[in-house]
Amino acid sequence: MNKKILFIQPTIYDDSGKPVKKKKLYFVGMAFPLLAAMLPEGWSADICIETIEDIPYDTDADVIGLGGMGHAARRAVDIVKEFKKRGKIVIMGGPMVSLIPEVAKQYCDCVMIGDAEESIVQICKDIENGELKDFYNKPLEKLSWPLPRYDLVTNKSIGDFLPVQAGRGCPHICKFCSIYCIYRGKYIKRTVDEVIRDIKYVKKLGFKKFLLIDDNIVADAEYMTELCARIKPLKMKWMSQCAIQIADNPALLKAAAESGCYVLSIGLESINKSALEGFDKEFCNPDDFMRVLNTINKAGIEVASEMIIGANEDTRHSLDETIKFVKRSKIIAPKFYCLMPVPGTDFYHECKEKGVLAHDDLFSYRPSEAVINTPNMKAEQVTSEYWRVYNKLYTVWAILRRTIFSRRIFRHPKRTMFFFMVNMVYRSQIKRKIAPNIL
């Protein structure tokens, strides 16, 4: 029996309700190349990334698999409806779907809850036997899999790097985080041998860079140290995300930089200590942020920060202070998100109980539109402040000051010019009210 599954990564809608399109996608998802590699005998797969290509609604695929983050949920539902009209079997998965499976099931035939690696083969067999279940939920006990089907994405208009996964989960318990609500403080790692196998394969495919996917790569310092030692001889450049604690481990920071790490995405969230405490991020001290950023930068690694707008403590004045902090720190690629109560998370239920949600249209929630009324601002005011902060930090002059007119241009000229172009792309997206780096 030969069957085919088409995996689709939906785009998002812009403010006018049109699907956002781009000429190139830099951050390619890991899930679909991985699941495609794990399909049982007799099954084939294809991948559609809607941001850079059109959805083939006339596909010969027997099954449609939709994933993506919460901000693409509305678009995903509309795609599901169209394929259901055409008589296709549709399965859905991903972080948001996993947190509200009963809601998602109203639109599709099957929901994959949590990690799909342990379920995908059983789903395929059940489809073959006409016994597809409504829900599949088999948590991972370990991370191990064959080489991902990178060949299904390398022929598309993507950037100059591919994703490689190291671990999943995070030991921290930040209540707004969907990762915490799925893994509950659990952190699972792949073997170093297997990670290195994938990195070598990416290099064999002609790529000189990779994105090391891990919800918090410093969660196990010993593991990261060994991984860096094994990556170093490969002479590749890499990016990842982690918590600020890496700045307090000089040996690990040095090992990461020497192994080729050149960018770390770090969630600073807020420069207000009370706000951080409200997020259950007491381990972060905003008074220490400047030292942390300088320490990481001096090691030769750039920081792409992530911060939240819409905390209870936020005011127009406090956000002015945030703008000043980002300018003063010269963070190379600052990113912001409206505080979003991801449906199904503890934080969502807390907001609902307090009656602070502006509306409960779950599938319209996205990081660029606030839905929480705070003590100081209504949700629409928070959204307005969100775009004001972005526009202030992505003027041409602000971009020049943190790139070409900074000291980093002398230390890393090519890298700095690359980030200048990244900033200009972000600026273009912001002008169109598309949040940078979501797609």
- Parallel, antiparallel, or unpaired for β 161-165 and 209-213? parallel
Residue 153 lies in a domain: no
Q: Which residues contact 220 (CB under 8 A, 6 or more apart)?
A: 167, 187, 189
What are the φ and ψ backbone dihedral angles of 173, each rounded to 5 degrees? -125, 50
| pLDDT band of 14, cuts 50, 70, 90 | confident
Overall number of domains in the chain: 2
Higher pLDDT, 400 or 168: 400
Please give the mean pLDDT across all residues of the chain: 91
Task: Using alpha carbons, select from 57, 40, 71 the residue that is nearest to residue 6.
Answer: 57
> Out of 25-34, 112-121, 165-174, 316-325, which region has the weakest mean confidence (pLDDT)?
165-174
> Out of 74-83, 191-200, 373-382, which region has the weakest mean confidence (pLDDT)?
74-83
Residue 155 lies in a domain: no
> Out of 190-194, 219-223, 320-324, which region has the weakest mean confidence (pLDDT)?
219-223
User: Are 91 and 133 spatial neighbours (Cβ–Cβ below 8 Å)?
Assistant: no
Residue 48 lies in a domain: yes
pLDDT score for 184? 62
User: What would the pLDDT profile of 106-140 be if each residue is shown by its tens digit?
Assistant: 999 999 998 888 899 999 999 999 999 999 998 87
Give the H/E segment covering residue 418.
helix 413-431
- Rounded to whole angstroms, how far apart are CA atoms 257 and 250? 11
Per cent of the chain over pLDDT 70 is 95
> Out of 181-185, 268-272, 274-278, 336-340, which region has the weakest mean confidence (pLDDT)?
181-185
Final residue of a structural domain among 99, 121, 136:
136
pLDDT score for 381? 98
Sheet holding 63-66, edge to edge: 43-49, 3-9, 63-66, 89-93, 110-112, 135-136
Residues 203 and 86 occupy one common structural domain: no
User: What would the pLDDT profile of 411-433 be if each residue is shown by its tens digit?
Assistant: 999 999 999 999 999 999 999 88
Q: What's the one-letter identity of residue 129?
A: N
User: What would the pLDDT profile of 248-271 be if each residue is shown by its tens digit?
Assistant: 999 999 999 999 999 999 989 999
User: What would the pLDDT profile of 150-180 be if each residue is shown by its tens digit?
Assistant: 999 999 999 999 999 998 776 666 666 656 5
pLDDT score for 181? 57
CATH of residue 279's domain is 3.80.30.20
Residues 102 and 220 occupy one common structural domain: no
pLDDT score for 174? 61
Residues 115 and 171 occupy one common structural domain: no
Does residue 439 carry a pLDDT above 50?
no
CATH of residue 46's domain is 3.40.50.280
Final residue of a structural domain among 136, 151, 174:
136
Within 10 Å of residue 206's Cβ, how many Cβ atoms?
A: 8
Q: Which residues contact 17 (CB under 8 A, 6 or more apart)?
A: none
Q: What's the one-letter identity of residue 122?
A: Q
Q: Where are the alpha helices (DSSP H) in 355-433?
A: 379-393, 396-402, 408-411, 413-431
Residues 125 and 176 occupy one common structural domain: no
Give the H/E segment covering residue 302.
strand 302-309
Structure tokens at 419: 């980030």
Domain of 13 in residue numbering reads as 3-136
Residues 82 and 128 occupy one common structural domain: yes
Q: Which residues contact 1 (CB under 8 A, 6 or more apart)?
A: 42, 128
Residues 108 and 179 occupy one common structural domain: no
pLDDT score for 281? 82
Q: Is 86 exposed, middle or buried (0-12, 13-18, 19+ CB in 10 A)?
A: exposed
